[in-house]
């Protein structure tokens, strides 16, 4: 796969190599805070990756000293968009634009791995919750920050935290906007692994996943995304349908042959 790099609105950079896309929130001078252009760039990045042929795994990280400090409060008074846009308008499928900035990563057909460091507050924490798996530095500072400003989390956080963060813990952190560390984030369910080099760890896992059958991995992500709201009967049927589509397919047979021949498989992309 040919290496490629694009920049979106001077806010987000996407680099693709060896079937792995690295999405970098690239506003380091502002701790990658979320202004209007940043929201637009993040959503656009998600849309581009959805159709990017050959991308099998995505890594999401932040440039500079932070993953994302949350909403850029200074931008609120500079744009009428915040007042003119109704948050109840579903502009991106089941979401509005701020929600899509977080939900886009869960909606992508391929796995997304987050690499979180520095500061991760408010909207930044909700975006960081979109990836399937999250590596975090132990010293990262996190907070469900919205109540400090008289607001509630509204960028998909409740949908993304469901099943990961215990209900009473989420209530406490939301009501108080108490700050917590990366180590505590793993204990509470906001992150998956603590690592002193979260980006390195995320890239290593991404390349490992990229070496698996992309159809099987996408099928597994689709099942994982849906199982939280399906009945037992629906889950069992969904498993069967997914497996029926995979069995004896080109990639499934290649996985078997490569395993038996003890070589690296050569998969075709969706």
Q: What is the CATH number of the domain that holds 24?
A: 3.90.226.10
Binned at pLDDT 50, 70 and 90, residue 217 comes out as: very high
Quick one: average pLDDT of 118-146? 98
- Do 39 and 112 lie in a common domain? yes
Task: Answer whether residue 83 shows pLDDT above 70.
Answer: no
User: Is the pLDDT score of 79 beyond 60?
Assistant: no
Residue 92: its pLDDT value, please? Answer: 96
Q: Are 47 and 137 found together in one domain?
A: yes
Residues 169 and 257 in one domain: no
Residues 93 and 174 in one domain: yes
Return the pLDDT at 22.
98
Q: Are 115 and 227 within one domain?
A: no
Q: What is the mean pLDDT of residues 224-239?
A: 97
Please report, rounded to a whole number, the percentage of residues in the chain having pLDDT higher than 90: 94
Is 157 contained in some domain? yes
Number of helices (H), then strands (E), in the chain: 12, 10
Instruction: Say what percent of the chain tops pLDDT 70.
Output: 97
Residue 143, C-beta contacts closer than 8 angstroms, at least 6 positions apart: 121, 122, 125, 173, 177, 178, 179, 180
Judge if 221 and 203 occupy the same domain.
no
- 2 CB neighbour count, 10 Å cutoff: 6
Give yes or no: residues 125 and 13 share one domain.
yes
Give the model's confidence band at 75: pLDDT under 50 very low, under 70 low, under 90 confident, else very high. confident
269 domain-assigned = no
H or E segment to which residue 58 belongs: strand 57-62
pTM as predicted: 0.96
pLDDT, residue 17, reads 97
Residue 229 pLDDT > 90 = yes
Q: How confident is the model at residue 73 (pLDDT cuts 50, 70, 90)?
A: confident
Is 266 inside a domain boundary?
no
Q: Which residue, chain included where needed, has tokens 């919205």? A: 146
Last residue of a domain, one of 210, 228, 251: 210
Same domain, 193 and 76: yes
pLDDT tens for each residue of 48-62: 999 999 999 999 999
Rg of the Cα atoms in the chain? 19
User: Domains in the chain: how many in total?
Assistant: 2
In a domain, 249, yes or no: yes
Task: Examine the domain organization and report whether 218 and 179 are in the same domain.
Answer: no
**pLDDT of 80:** 58
- Domain extent, residue 198, equals 4-210
Q: What pLDDT does 81 receive? A: 60
Segment 28-54 shows an average pLDDT of 97
- Check whether residue 18 and residue 151 sit in a common domain: yes
Does some domain include residue 113? yes
Give 138-185 pLDDT, tens digit per residue: 999 999 999 999 999 999 999 999 999 999 999 999 999 999 999 999
For residues 134 and 220, state if they share a domain: no
pLDDT of residue 88: 94
Are both 171 and 235 inside the same structural domain?
no
**Residue matched to tokens 């849309």:** 47
Torsion angles phi and psi, residue 256, rounded to 5:
-65, -45
**Residue 174 lies inside a defined structural domain of this protein:** yes
């Amino acid at each position: 796969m040919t290496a490629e790099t694009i920049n979106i609105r001077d806010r987000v950079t996407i680099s693709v190599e060896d079937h792995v896309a690295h999405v970098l929130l690239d506003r380091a001078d502002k701790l990658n805070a979320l202004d209007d252009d940043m929201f637009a760039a993040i959503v656009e990045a998600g849309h581009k990756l959805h159709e990017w042929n050959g991308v099998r795994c995505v890594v999401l990280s932040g440039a500079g000293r932070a993953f994302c400090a949350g909403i850029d409060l200074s931008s609120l008074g500079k744009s009428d968009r915040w007042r003119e846009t109704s948050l109840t308008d579903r502009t991106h499928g089941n979401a509005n634009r701020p929600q899509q900035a977080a939900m886009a990563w869960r909606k992508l057909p391929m796995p997304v791995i987050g690499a979180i460091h520095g500061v991760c507050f408010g909207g930044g924490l909700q975006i960081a919750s979109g990836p399937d798996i999250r590596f975090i530095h132990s010293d990262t500072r996190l907070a469900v920050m919205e109540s400090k400003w008289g607001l509630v989390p509204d960028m998909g956080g409740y949908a993304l935290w469901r099943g990961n963060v215990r209900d009473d813990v989420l209530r406490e952190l939301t009501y108080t906007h108490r700050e917590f560390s990366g180590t505590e984030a793993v204990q509470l369910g906001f992150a998956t692994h603590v690592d002193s080099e979260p980006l390195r760890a995320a890239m290593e896992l991404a390349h490992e996943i990229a070496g698996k059958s992309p159809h099987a991995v996408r099928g597994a992500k689709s099942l994982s995304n849906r199982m939280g709201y399906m009945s037992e009967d629906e889950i069992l049927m969904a498993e069967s349908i997914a497996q029926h589509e995979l069995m004896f397919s080109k990639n499934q047979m290649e996985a078997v042959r490569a395993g038996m021949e003890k070589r690296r498989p050569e998969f075709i992309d969706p």
